[in-house]
A and B are shown apart, each in its own frame.
Chain A
Amino acid sequence: MVRRILGLTTGRIAVAILTVIALLAVLGPLFAPQDPLATSDHPLAGTSGSHWLGTDYLGRDVLSRLLDGSRVSVLGSLEVAVTALVVGAVPGILSVYLGRAFEWVTLRLVDTLVALPFLLFAVAVIALLGNGLTQAMLVTGVLVSPLFYRVSRAATLSVARSQYVEAAIISGASIGWIVRRHVWAKVLPPIAVAFAQTVGVGFVIVSSLTFLGIGVQPPEPTWGGLLASDLGYLGQKPWAPVAPALLIMATVWAGNLLADAIRDVSGEAGRALIDARRARPDRLDKTDPAPAGGTR
């Protein structure tokens, strides 16, 4: 599937951006040219050789803080996505096989979770458990999990009613074997799409919470936190929010782009799409009929 995703331009762009962001998360703090917490006597300074992106309201190097803050932002969004995947996908698949009682209970739970506004709920949980990003992300992950539940359940239902699965059940195959052998391969592509989408959603949530000063203790830098603090000094540095805003935007966009690419290459339709693009990239063959509506 990876090869097929990289066969698409959008897939290559998404993977390239996400790779850079992942590298920033792993190595960013090491690349920071200065101590991200060290204040100086030059608050709100413009760009210079020593401060490529200027300094913040306490005279701290903005580039160093952006690089240092990438880890919290990325890990937070991954926490949301992984939690949602585990909490949503497993019961989603099992709800098809573990009887009507399990199905009814999980469906009602999912309905309940969908009704809760996850940002407000995350704020409430932090108020209850203390100001930490991990607990907020875990709770948010649970609230996002209905997406995985529904996607995996729908995919499993379509497989469960196929003749070869029914034949396997009649032959005495266990549910575990059927899930591993037949269901998992069918469920994986839509789950991968949902996962890539959820990474983007998670990023927005982390940025929103840290923008509100929730989840991290100052002076720990985060992209959302940097954006929030920059907005208070627009009179002095009107361009300051651009860097964190662009990073957040690019990451969320790349997550969505990757989700689209996975969807495009998944299943028979996806493979056909890729084959067609390889055969005739952006060109009409002379023998092809003109598209409806004419050409422009």
Chain B
Amino acid sequence: MSGRLLPRRRPAPGPRSFTRRAGRLRTAALGTVLAVVLVPVLAACGGDASSANGNSTLKWASTYFPTHWDPVVGGSGAQFRELALVYASLTRIDENGEAVPDLAESWEYNDKGDEITFHLREGLTFSDGEPVNAKAVKAAVERAQDQEDSALHGDLTSIESVEAKGLDAVVHLTQTDYQIPQLLGERVLQIASPKAAGDPEKLDQNPVGAGPFIVTQLVPGTKAVLKKNPDYWDADNIHIDNVELTSAPDTSTIVSGLQTGVYNFADVDPSQAESAKKAGLDVFTQPGFNASNISLNVNKAPFDNEKVVDAVRYAINRQEFVDKLTFGYGEVTDQPFPRDYVAYDPESEDKYPYAPDKSKKLLAEAGYGDGDIKLDLVISAEDPQAEIVQSQLAKVGITVNIKIDKNWSTPFFAKDLTFSLYSTTGRDSAVQTLTAHFGPDGPLNLSSPYEPDGFEDAVAKVRQTPLDDPDYAETLQAATRAGLESDALIFTYSSPNLFAKSKSISDLPKNPAHINWTGVTISGNG
């Protein structure tokens, strides 16, 4: 008779049963440990595996989560990378830093160089169904010039008007300016649907563009969920189906987030690079134009004295910024660009080397003794750069008091501060970078309306030089040289564009300062 009617008799406890029980316990414990360890790992792998089913998801933790999703209000700062998920532009920047077609498939200048016509691609629509045409381009430019809270006023001074002729947008310029294709790329003219932009406040919450992705959910300041835009002009080369863009939490938690699969892509602080590498992540730098500076207001004492300005210049040890803040990933720079950029002027390099003794001497000549100069260094948030500046200037007898002002941008851009710090991610147009720093109305020129002698002429010459002209580089560097005569800025170092990603994400194109998702794939073996 099969089956069991009587309870099985347990063997009497003895040494063998203890061994067996211990063995079972070990097996159970091992099983539990394996389950605890493997289940999350397999679950994480499962998430990636779904990419094979056409459901690949980019989970991006960004420290530059957009504060505004209206590109006109967002401005041309670092957040353009995230906004470029939604909005396309007339041009984009390729791996050589040159303007290439985006919404416009081609363009040409008139003979004088003061008019440029962009020819838009046929049959494109914004994600709300509105057509992408010259009218939309005109509306975008006019909104950027006229909207009260636009952060792009200063970037579009060369544009007089836009004429809409079907798919041809004719841009009339105030001067000869061959920088326009560089200028009207992703940083300055991300084009929103004119219908959606009719209500800018609504656009800020519900962005509508013609870019590679469409926003499906937006939690302001926290998270955005996007899906692929099937109508994007280059949709065939976008292999990511969904994007979850999250505002990055504390830097120290990003690596563990990447490790556990909460994110698969993030910008990381140099201090976290080693941990990210040890965690088996891909750590890489994107080329860029980052440059940090110390901003002085020469309209206010003591910087109205040139000797004091020079004393500060000689007191700055740039290498200390690189060593302590970039963990070997950055480099010193005394210009608003990194060293390998076309606008970097080799002739101006190391004009003010670190020389604290010379600095003290200049201060004495200016009539200032040890501790006579007391400065408030006003910054927006805690920043080790400020502490380095403070300690370096203390060595030459200048007392610096660091003041954190959460409302820093108001006095900084109103040029009310005497002494501050600024870090730029640069611009695609080198002229835009130069005028922003050294121009009389440049937003980063704390000493407006001051500008160095000869700068305006040098910049005008660059604008008049086509980018493929053999003299372009030399002309541009001459403008940089003229700008660097400014007493208002001391450049210190170039921080890296450092990212970490899961190995399941393929390498990104090396477009300088940009994050380009074209051709990037997310595999299922992550």
Interface residues, chain A, with chain B CB atoms under 8 Å away: 37-39, 41, 43, 57-59, 127, 131, 213, 217-219, 231-236
Q: How far is the CA of A43 from the CA of B406 in the complex (A)?
A: 28
Q: How far is the CA of A275 from the CA of B323 in the complex (A)?
A: 64
Chain B residues, CB < 8 A from A43: 323-324
Q: Do A58 and B386 touch across chains, with their CB atoms under 8 A apart? A: no
Q: Do B402 and A236 touch across chains, with their CB atoms under 8 A apart? A: no
Given contacts A43-B323, A213-B381, A217-B401, whether A233 and B387 have CB atoms under 8 Å apart is no
Does B274 reach chain A (CB closer than 8 Å)? yes
A sample of 26 inter-chain contacts (CB < 8 A) reads: A38-B391, A39-B320, A39-B387, A39-B388, A43-B323, A58-B384, A58-B391, A127-B406, A131-B404, A131-B406, A213-B381, A217-B401, A217-B402, A218-B387, A218-B402, A219-B390, A219-B402, A232-B251, A233-B271, A234-B252, A234-B275, A235-B255, A235-B271, A235-B272, A235-B275, A235-B278
State which size class the interface on B falls in: 20 to 34
B452 CB to closest chain A CB (Å) equals 32
Chain A residues, CB < 8 A from B274: 235-236
Given contacts A131-B404, A232-B252, A236-B274, whether A213 and B382 have CB atoms under 8 Å apart is yes
Which one of A38, A57, A213, A233 lies within 8 Å of B404 (CB-CB)? A213
Q: Do A39 and B391 touch across chains, with their CB atoms under 8 A apart? A: yes
Q: Do B404 and A218 touch across chains, with their CB atoms under 8 A apart? A: yes
Q: Do B404 and A232 touch across chains, with their CB atoms under 8 A apart? A: no
Does B307 reach chain A (CB closer than 8 Å)? no
Q: How far is the CA of A226 from the CA of B404 in the complex (A)?
A: 17
A121 CB to closest chain B CB (Å) equals 16
Q: How far is the CA of A235 from the CA of B271 in the complex (A)?
A: 8
Q: Which label, helix, strand, loop or mixed, suits the secondary structure of the B interface?
A: helix
Chain B residues, CB < 8 A from A236: 271, 274
Chain A residues, CB < 8 A from B510: none
Does B403 reach chain A (CB closer than 8 Å)? yes
Which one of A59, A217, A231, A235 lies within 8 Å of B250 (CB-CB)? A231
Residue of A nearest to B327 (CB): A236
Chain B residues, CB < 8 A from A218: 382, 386-387, 402, 404
A58 CB to closest chain B CB (Å) equals 6
Q: How far is the CA of A59 from the CA of B317 in the complex (A)?
A: 15
Does B269 reach chain A (CB closer than 8 Å)? yes
Given contacts A43-B323, A58-B384, A58-B387, whether A217 and B404 have CB atoms under 8 Å apart is yes
Chain B residues, CB < 8 A from A235: 255, 271-272, 274-275, 278
Chain B residues, CB < 8 A from A231: 250, 252
Q: How far is the CA of A43 from the CA of B323 in the complex (A)?
A: 9
Given contacts A43-B324, A57-B324, A127-B406, whether A219 and B271 have CB atoms under 8 Å apart is no
Tell which of A57, A131, A218 has the most Cβ of chain B within 10 Å: A218
Q: Do B387 and A219 touch across chains, with their CB atoms under 8 A apart? A: yes
Chain B residues, CB < 8 A from A39: 320, 387-388, 391
Chain A residues, CB < 8 A from B252: 231-232, 234
A143 CB to closest chain B CB (Å) equals 21
B446 CB to closest chain A CB (Å) equals 21
Q: How far is the CA of A219 from the CA of B271 in the complex (A)?
A: 19
Q: How far is the CA of A43 from the CA of B402 in the complex (A)?
A: 21
